[in-house]
Structure 1
Amino acid sequence: MSNSKRTYSDKELQKLSQLYKSRKILRTVFDTTNQAIAVFETIYNADSTIKDFKFIEVNKILLDMYLDNNPLGKTFLETSTWGVKMGIFGAFKNTMEIGQVLNEEFQFDKDGNNRWFCITAKPQDNLLIATIEDISLRKIEAEKLKENIRFEQNLTEASPETIVIINLSSYCVRYINKHIFPEAGMTKERIQGTPLLEVLPFIHPQDRNKIVNMHKKLVKAADDEVIEIELRLKLRNASWEWFNIRGKIFERRSVNWVEEYILVVRNITEYKSTQEALLKAERLSIQGEVARVFAHELRNPLASIRMSTDILNKKLDVEQKKEIENYLEILSRSTKTIDNLIGNLLNASNYSPAVLVKENLVEILNDTLNKASDRIYLAGIKVVKEYKEPTYILADKEKLIIALLNIIVNATEATIPNEGILEIKVKKHLTESILSIQDNGYGLQPPEIDRLFDAFYTNKETGVGVGLTSVKNILEEHDAQIKVKSTPNEGTCFEIFFQNDLL
């Protein structure tokens, strides 16, 4: 038998070189990866059941895990007592037996050293190749995240505010933390995922522009900017409640693209009611003082007018009475009306809130014009009425007549005698009706329009400035908005927006 060395062909030498390089690369990867790697040889019992696993290849990361106890050449049961307790040995056996890849997390907890490992194992013939990754830091971070999520959930659920996240890609309510009005069907389940256009009907018609403008501002806002508004949301039947809404950007897709913004919604109806009650008390206090002054100052000249009218009636002969009969009747009616008004002013401190019921606006207008007929006749004003069909609103008829009467009387005083035209129109829309009262009088300057409804402001030489303040107060009780348009020397138009009674 020859002891001569075997010679290799160039082709064989090339293959051996490539194999050497491949093993070298594999070894480099083996030792530089951040995961521990072990290659096991499976040891079987005589009955072909798995007895143990022998370490035949390990990398540096795994050696560091075992510290001074180098497992190479030893079996799993010899070196890994805790691995058995943790269930790793059983998992390895199962993997070899069924031939499927293992991918599980295992917890090591000894003497306060609590660590988590992710172990992946793959069978290959008689070998088992396993990777071990320390995921303790990831687990801690995940637990912190869970805790933060639980904290945020508890916080949002306990918060008195309703928190809403609006997604601008789907243009819908992406998240809401609680019910808004379960009694009115505005539940968390119903609102979450709802398109924004379907939420719009819950908002008071006069406040819808507010939410639109808020949206426009938010999509252009800085990350730390907060946009705030107050608006009314619909409750059951015809009632509304006031809400404060604060909005802030929640997530951006890019510098110029807002993906989501968050709204914090709080019911402020009670606060609004308290605030309104305080303002009303202040106004009533002022009105009470005005009433006392009026009563003192008006009743003496009023008594004189009444007495003078009675004396004229007695002294004039029949022919003379015929000529001025209309004027004497106007004097008599007017003194009675003024006397009633004085009584109402004296009772102003006994304020009672408006009671809104279904009323026909057309009937209220006709009653108002009837009460103002004497003033209209004396001023020589032509009245043009552009309304016929019934228009139903929620109103306190007597109070609304007082408000409209004030506006019409102002119009008669603002026109040139015998040249005045008063146009009264009602335009009915789906959810609201617009009443316009237009005169062709002297008109107002812009600064006068701004102060028109201020208490004690007047542009009349003998006025005290309470009429239009009272108008505004009454219309606020009717949830009606009033706008004034005026051009000097051309006239003034009052527009009043009433909510239709839809029930």
Structure 2
Amino acid sequence: MPPESSTLTYDFLNDQQLLLLIDFRDHSIHYMSHSVQQYSEGVPQKRFFKDLVHPEDWGTCLSCFSSLTNEFSTGIPIRFRGKDGIWITYIFCSRHYKEGKENLMLSLAVTASPSDYFEEEPVAENFWKNEYEHLLESLDEAFVVVEVIFSPDHNPVDYFFLKVNPSFELQANLKDVVGKTVEEVLPGYTKNVLQKLGEVAKTGRSIRIEERSGTLQRWFDLYLFKVGKAGGNRVALLFRNITEGKTAEEKLQEKLLNNQHNLRQSKELLQTVFDTTNLGIAVLKTLYDRDGSIKDFEFARVNRVVREMYLQDDVIGKSYLETSKYGVEMGIFDAYLKVMITGEPFDEEYFFSKDGYNNWFRVTARKNQDLLITTIEDITKAKTEAEALKESLRFKKELVETTPEVIMIINLNTFSVKYINKDLLPEAGITKEKVQSLGLAEVLPFIHPRDREKILDLHKKLLKSSSDQIYDIEVRLKLNGVTWKWFNVRGKIFLRRDENWVDEYVLLVRNISDQKHTQKALLKAEKLSIQGELARTFAHELRNPLASIRMVGEVMNQKIPETQKEELNPYFEILKRSTTTLNNLVSNLLNASHYVPAVLEKEDLAEILDQTIISASDRIYLAGIKVVKNYSGSFSIMADKEKLQIALLNIIVNASEATTPGEGVIELSVEPRENEYVLRIKDNGHGMNENEIEHLFEAFYSKKENGMGVGLSSVKNILEEHDAQIKVESEPEKGTSFELFFHNADQL
């Protein structure tokens, strides 16, 4: 639009104002407002300016064509020749305009008074002079005046903003539109408004429409009406933003459509259920006597199942009393009457045993005003299955209650015992109630320390097992202080959430202590049977040579000169003690054929070791072996002192025989651990290979030239009676280490 510093005073209701679209190349007119047409009669469009512009102003006019920008130029006075030959001065403002691919000049012009033309100081522009303009300025609605631009074939192609009121920017969210066309302000605008503006400009008839602007993302309520003289193309728009209300209306409409759709779907679903359900469904209409009492029911609607039950094609319109003889006899009719009178729903099971039928039915009824909605369901199969399930549960319950095994269900979500059928070890206080009150972590202390790893391993295996895999282990449970009972534990998955998650598994726990003792006794009897026979043979064969050796030693001691007795006397004493020891061992060997179980009592391991070293002192002295004791203090264990000394003596003697005389070293150490003591007996002898270690504790296995292979075998038997584990590590030419693991008696 003309700049505010221009001398141009612009009245938007002034029809003498000119609007032109000009091709600046040949000066032809593409569009002219109605007010221009008074000058163009009889003038060719291409000669419009040449014929009508004052010759003295033609150069000024040409300069307008050659100096266009996208902004309006400063007002330039140009004289036009009127119809009567009088020259009228117009103030022209021009700028560049693009219509499609055409580059044109858009010019605005208003008449200028002589004072406008000759005054040096500009006259301030004032758009809102008259009472109409004051009214429009105060409106909350947006008001705008546009010039509709038509193509040569009389179709609206654009519109030019002439005037807007202050509310326009608020309602349309557009700024600085005056002096611009809608194509320039809002590319991609809705063409429907343009068509309506063209219609109003041509016909003069006002139009009211609601239009959504996709570009502005707003809804508008528009009132379009013509302004100015007839034949002109100026149209005014009065409009307001109705986006909020329209959005609410659209949401309401969408909600209404959704509700209608959902209602239709619900009806269709209800009809589908009614027609496809296995329940017999009937809608009964209540029939009344004259006194208002209920006399019968009439079938208003039934589904397929009811028709099949009645063996009739159609019971609609018929009464209950005439079609339902057995229903009356079974009391169903009376139940229906009660529902209609009290309003209380009805749900009962009936057994029907007529005409060769033996069926169970479930009948329900509910009141709905004067209608009775009833359902009939054949539950014969469910009843039969329920009875079978009840019998199966009774059988399983009796089986669980009478089985000798303890059944435990472990819940892995709560890490607790979900179910246990009986006491586990009542004499030790491990009752059903106590086990169910404990978490899994609290059960572990009842399990033997060496068997806890077995339980944890079983747990891990079950978590990874398939539903049909079964694992079993043997563990010991504490009876009292140092007494343990053996149990067999079998585990299997009980409840699985999916292939990667186990919720519960079941454990079958059986006391096998008596079985274990029997097996041990049989095995011991078998070993003793062999060992007893050997013992008697060895003892018989050894007694005579031992007696001879002892007698020879005594004779030699008597016959040697007195001068040598002092020097040789220690050796004769060793010989005498050794033959006595061997004789005692022969006696013990004979006694060993009669097995006597170990009697475990609380003993000091250090004291037993010291006594064993004393017993082996002669062998140690003769072999020139050094014994290193790396232990001090006391170590309480449960032991049969004499038997354990025999086992330890065997290991120490074997160690002394494995070392080089004069160079051998035997180290003894005791290491306290969490709930046990580890006795380590280590030598620097010739050592053993893996094959020798594997067979080390087998009966009659020996690598010694004259060995019988019974010493370490008896060691293992004695340690088993003490529930002590033994571990051997050895390396040829470097030595051997025996590790013996004893329970800490103070923690049992």
Range into which the TM-score falls when normalised by the shorter chain: 0.7 to 0.9
Counterpart residue type for residue 268 of structure 1: I
1:426 aligns with 2:681: no
How far residue 104 of structure 1 moved from its aligned partner, in angstroms, is 4.1
1:361 aligns with 2:610: no
- What is the aligned counterpart of 1:239 among 466, 479, 483? 483
* Deviations 1:203-249 (CA, angstroms, capped at 9, x unpaired): 22222222222233333334433323222222244322222233333
- What is the aligned counterpart of 2:494 among 235, 238, 250? 250
Cα root mean square deviation, aligned:
2.9
* Closer/same/farther in 2, CA of residues 378 and 95 from structure 1, 3 Å limit: farther
* Deviations 1:126-180 (CA, angstroms, capped at 9, x unpaired): 2111122222222222222222222222222222222333333333333333322
* Closer/same/farther in 2, CA of residues 90 and 331 from structure 1, 3 Å limit: farther
Q: Distance in 2 between matches of 1:335 and 1:144?
A: 81
2:596 counterpart SS class: coil
Counterpart residue type for residue 176 of structure 1: I
Instruction: Specify the alignment match of 2:542 in structure 1.
Output: 298
8 Å CA contact 1:69–1:79 kept in 2: the answer is no
* Deviations 1:107-133 (CA, angstroms, capped at 9, x unpaired): 334466332333333221121111222
1:323 counterpart SS class: helix
Instruction: Specify the alignment match of 1:413 in structure 2.
Output: 657
Instruction: Specify the alignment match of 2:685 in structure 1.
Output: 441
Q: Percent identity?
A: 59
Q: Distance in 2 between matches of 1:427 and 1:450?
A: 25
Counterpart residue type for residue 208 of structure 1: R
Q: Distance in 2 between matches of 1:20 and 1:289?
A: 99
* Deviations 1:31-57 (CA, angstroms, capped at 9, x unpaired): 443221111233456776655433333
Please, which runs of 5 or more residues in structure 2 have no aligned partner? 1-262
How far residue 192 of structure 1 moved from its aligned partner, in angstroms, is 3.7
1:436 counterpart SS class: strand
Q: Distance in 2 between matches of 1:244 and 1:295?
A: 42
Instruction: Specify the alignment match of 1:324 in structure 2.
Output: 568
1:479 aligns with 2:723: yes
Instruction: Specify the alignment match of 2:418 in structure 1.
Output: 174
Please, which runs of 5 or more residues in structure 1 have no aligned partner? 1-18
Q: Distance in 1 between matches of 2:648 and 2:636?
A: 16
Instruction: Specify the alignment match of 1:370 in structure 2.
Output: 614
Counterpart residue type for residue 123 of structure 1: K
**Mean Cα displacement is larger for which, 446-455 or 265-274?**
265-274
Counterpart residue type for residue 690 of structure 2: P
Instruction: Specify the alignment match of 1:12 in structure 2.
Output: none
8 Å CA contact 2:532–2:594 kept in 1: the answer is no
TM-score (norm 1): 0.87
Instruction: Specify the alignment match of 1:132 in structure 2.
Output: 376
2:670 counterpart SS class: strand
Q: Distance in 2 between matches of 1:147 and 1:258?
A: 29
Instruction: Specify the alignment match of 2:236 in structure 1.
Output: none
Q: Distance in 2 between matches of 1:157 and 1:434?
A: 45
TM-score (norm 2): 0.60
8 Å CA contact 2:533–2:593 kept in 1: the answer is no
* Closer/same/farther in 2, CA of residues 50 and 416 from structure 1, 3 Å limit: farther
Q: Distance in 1 between matches of 2:736 and 2:358?
A: 82
8 Å CA contact 2:535–2:593 kept in 1: the answer is no
**Mean Cα displacement is larger for which, 107-116 or 212-221?**
107-116
Instruction: Specify the alignment match of 2:393 in structure 1.
Output: 149
- What is the aligned counterpart of 1:350 among 594, 605, 617? 594
Q: Distance in 2 between matches of 1:246 and 1:382?
A: 51
1:113 counterpart SS class: coil
Instruction: Specify the alignment match of 1:315 in structure 2.
Output: 559
**Mean Cα displacement is larger for which, 249-258 or 465-474?**
249-258
Counterpart residue type for residue 685 of structure 2: G
Instruction: Specify the alignment match of 1:202 in structure 2.
Output: 446
8 Å CA contact 2:410–2:506 kept in 1: the answer is yes
**Mean Cα displacement is larger for which, 224-233 or 361-370?**
224-233
**Mean Cα displacement is larger for which, 46-55 or 158-167?**
46-55
8 Å CA contact 1:457–1:464 kept in 2: the answer is yes
Instruction: Specify the alignment match of 1:497 in structure 2.
Output: 741
Q: Distance in 2 between matches of 1:61 and 1:191?
A: 54
Q: Distance in 2 between matches of 1:284 and 1:269?
A: 22
* Deviations 1:364-398 (CA, angstroms, capped at 9, x unpaired): 11111111111122222222223322222221111
Counterpart residue type for residue 244 of structure 1: N
Instruction: Specify the alignment match of 1:211 in structure 2.
Output: 455
- What is the aligned counterpart of 2:646 among 379, 402, 425? 402
Counterpart residue type for residue 229 of structure 1: I
* Structure of greater relative contact order (alpha carbons < 8 Å, 6+ residues apart): 1
**Mean Cα displacement is larger for which, 45-54 or 202-211?**
45-54
